[in-house]
Amino acid sequence: MGLEVNPMFRRAAAACVAALAAVGPAAAQDKPFSLTAGGAIVGPLSDSADRFSTGFGFTAGATWHFNGQFGLTADYVWSALGAKDDWNGLVASRPVDVTPRIQFGTVGIKFQAPPGPVRLYVVAGAGLYHRSVRLATAGSGDITVCDPWWFVCTPGPVPVGSVNRTNSSTDPGINVGVGLTAGMFFAEVRYHYMWGPSYSTPAGSQTATGKFFPLTVGLVF
């Protein structure tokens, strides 16, 4: 036997849900500030995608609302990344374990659709991006390593101990994205481009620019 629900209860529940959906976004806009917190899935693109795979992390942010549609937003994302095991003797003369990380803080302008149960928005800005890559290889002897996206390119064989370290770079970048809010929930995708250091490699000078495409989801307070 199925569970029957009183029709009056169903109508009341539906009315409450509709009221919350309508009042929730409006109430959020009555506040000059809003906060966000959630999870991040960070997908590398282009040259970064040749070395690293999708990673997972967290995000937190705040928005100062100029009015109902414009705001100044700031956010922070931290994520571990996966590493592709394709060193294949071209990047390094022996196998290397790679542990990449990325974190960044951005500031931008957000433009939202008029208040409603679901609101689309666009955001664009600039930020500071910190990428790090920990390298580790077993044994002793010498090794040759050259990959700008690992932030290392040795001119010749060097002792293994000099490679077992964390290399990093902190660089400026820009970003643009779209998202939506529904009540207390948000979801957003954003394209990030960051400049990076240049290295002299056997293939010529290469610049370790970064391109990433995070999906962030979470709550708005």
What pTM does this model have? 0.83
Residue type, 63: T
Q: Was domain 7-220 assigned CATH 1.10.10.10?
A: no
Closest CA to 36 of 63, 56, 8, 9: 63
- List per-residue pLDDT tens for the chain, 221 residues long: 444 444 443 454 455 445 434 444 444 446 899 999 999 999 999 999 999 999 999 999 999 999 989 999 999 999 999 998 655 555 777 788 899 999 999 999 999 999 889 999 999 999 999 999 999 888 788 888 889 999 999 888 888 888 899 999 999 999 999 999 999 999 999 999 999 999 998 888 999 999 999 999 999 99
> What are 171's two structure tokens?
């660089």
Any idea where the domains of the chain sit in the sequence? 7-220
**In sequence order, which residues have a C-beta less than 8 Å from that of residue 101 and are 6 or more positions away?**
78, 79, 80, 81, 131, 132, 133, 134
